[in-house]
Amino acid sequence: MIRVGVNGYGTIGKRVADAVVAQPDMILRGVAKRSPNHEAESAIRRDHDLYAADESRIDDFADADIPVAGTLPDLLDAVNVVVDCCPAGVGARNRDIYDAHDVRVVFQGGENATVADVSFVARTNFEAARDADTVRVVSCNTTGIARLLAPLEESFGVETARITLIRRGGDPAQTDRGPINDIVPDPASIPSHHGPDVNTVLSDIDVDTAALKAPVTAMHTHSVNVTLETEPTADAVRELLDGERRLFMIPEGAGLDGAGALQEYARDVGRPRGDLWENCLWAESIHVSGRDLYLFQNVHQEADVVPENVDAIRAMTTDTAASESMAVTDRTLGVGLASRLDTTTEPQESLAADD
Ligand code: NAD
């Protein structure tokens, strides 16, 4: 069993912790947290061993009547891998303590690419993380773009991709974030950092990105234009992308007309926390004119990186093949909405699991 700890139990950390618990080859040794808030209390309710981020925090947890099993160093002594889910930039500051405890580390996309040996999306560069000591799972937007461009590059060739990202202003609980009643270029300079970040996991793709922030919390929206090297039909593109388990092709006529409906659907089908681990692509938005492909996709920022974290752990610590790791991750989490909703398509191939 791969012994895993999660440091930082917020939006991403709590989801990664639950995903690790669901894996047949992993055991969650505990989660570490700085503040004794409602998320710390919910970690206890979910039977996770909770560790204080450092000694100075122990009294705060005691005052809040939240029991802790120790401090972060105790957790690090008990694991092979720690998944750092602390706020952006804090991960890099944690490197020294991870090095001192000789643990492998999965960082998140809020860190600079230089924080780790390799940046990671399972669909594009699983093998690059094989046996690595440190891996950075790229951001939610970069993950969503890479998952889309990889199959397009393999089947049709990508000459240039231009993507406009309409980003959510904050996560649902981040009431202190904005903008309010505005749509703001962010950054106003073009290209945004997302294109270069895609190149950390798909090095040969020519991709330019521009980004805005909108006063919404549900999901990011990407308006995608890709000049391909060949001239496929729109149906051929649809069929290709429909075959990717981490892409959800929203069927025409399903009534899923935006992020709100998608999140309602996720809750209705029993997704934990309403999570959408897949990119969500509107089938009818797929349009091809000559070599130019256009489409819209949505990315659930709180969720799409979660399966990637699980696969990163396996790539670093086992010799499990990429396809097998992704199949086990997807089966244990329930990734793959298309086969449930669109009854006109064949169920996706169920790959052999290792348990
Ligand atoms: P968050 O603020 O929701 O959670 C961070 C957690 O870490 C909080 O529980 C906080 O109490 C805790 N914490 C803060 N300092 C700590 C410390 N020194 N030691 C231990 N715990 C500490 O943040 P998040 O949104 O989960 O983001 C985590 C990382 O994931 C960032 O790199 C972020 O860029 C990345 N990411 C976030 C999203 C998203 O949309 N939320 C999506 C993809 C990637």
Rounded Cα–Cα distance for residues 284 and 264 (Å): 20
Distance, first Cα to last Cα, the chain? 12
Measured distance CA(211)–CA(299) in Å, rounded: 14
Q: How far is the CA of 12 from the centre of ligand 1 (A)?
A: 6
Instruction: Judge if the beta carbon of residue 116 lies within 6 A of ligand 1.
Output: no
| Residue 190 CB neighbours (<10 A) | 12
**Sequence-separated (6 or more) residues with CB below 8 Å from residue 227:** 158, 159, 160, 161, 291, 292, 293
Pocket test for ligand 1, best of 15, 34, 95, 105 (most atoms within 8 A of CB): 34
Q: Is the CB of 11 under 6 A from ligand 1?
A: yes
pLDDT score of 349: 40
For residue 84, give every residue at least 6 positions away whose Cβ sits within 8 Å of its Cβ, in sequence order, or none. 7, 8, 90, 91, 94, 98, 105, 106, 107, 108, 111
From 85, 86, 140, 280, active-site residue? 140
Tens of pLDDT, residue by residue over 197-221, are: 999 999 999 999 999 999 999 999 9
Q: Which atom of ligand 1 is nearest to the CA of 173?
A: 3
d(CA 85, CA 16): 9
pLDDT digits (tens, 9 = 90+) for 137-174: 999 999 999 999 999 999 999 999 999 999 999 999 99
CB-CB neighbours of 260 under 10 Å: 12
- What's the CA gap between 168 and 218, in Å, rounded? 7
For residue 167, what pLDDT is reported? Answer: 97
Q: Is the Cβ–Cβ distance between 190 and 181 less than 8 Å?
A: no
**Distance (Å, whole) CA 37 – CA 168:** 25
**How far, in Å, CA of 343 to CA of 251, rounded?**
10
Q: What percent of the chain has pLDDT over 70?
A: 95
Give distance in angstroms: CA of 211 to centre of ligand 1. 22
- Residue whose C-alpha is closest to residue 69's, from 43, 90, 38, 95: 43
Nearest CA to ligand 1 atom 12: 8
Measured from the Cα of 90, ligand 1's closest atom is 18
Residue 60 in contact with ligand 1 by CB distance below 6 A:
no
Reduce the DSSP state of residue 271 to 3 states and report it.
coil
Weakly modelled stretches of the chain, pLDDT under 70: 338-355
- Å from CA of 219 to ligand 1 middle: 17
Residue 139, ligand 1, Cβ within 6 A: yes
For residue 140, indicate whether it is catalytic: yes
Angle at 273 between CA 268 and CA 277, to 5 degrees: 85
Task: Give me the pLDDT at residue 340, please.
Answer: 55
Please check whether residue 56 is in contact with residue 48, taking contact to mean a CB–CB distance below 8 angstroms.
no
Q: Give pLDDT, residue 350.
A: 36
CB-based contact 325:317 (threshold 8 Å):
no
Cα–ligand 1 centroid distance for 13 (angstroms): 7
Residue with tokens 């990407």: 222
- Global pTM value: 0.95
Output the CA 54–ligand 1 centroid distance in Å.
16
50 burial type by CB count under 10 A (0-12 exposed, 13-18 middle, 19+ buried): buried
**Eight-class DSSP state of 328:** H
pLDDT at 341: 57
Mutate to test the pocket of ligand 1, among 108, 115, 301, 305 (most ligand atoms within 8 A of CB): 108
Average pLDDT value over all residues in the chain: 94
Looking at ligand 1, which atom is closest to the CA of residue 168?
Answer: 40
Tell me how far the alpha carbon of residue 106 lies from the centroid of ligand 1, in angstroms. Answer: 13
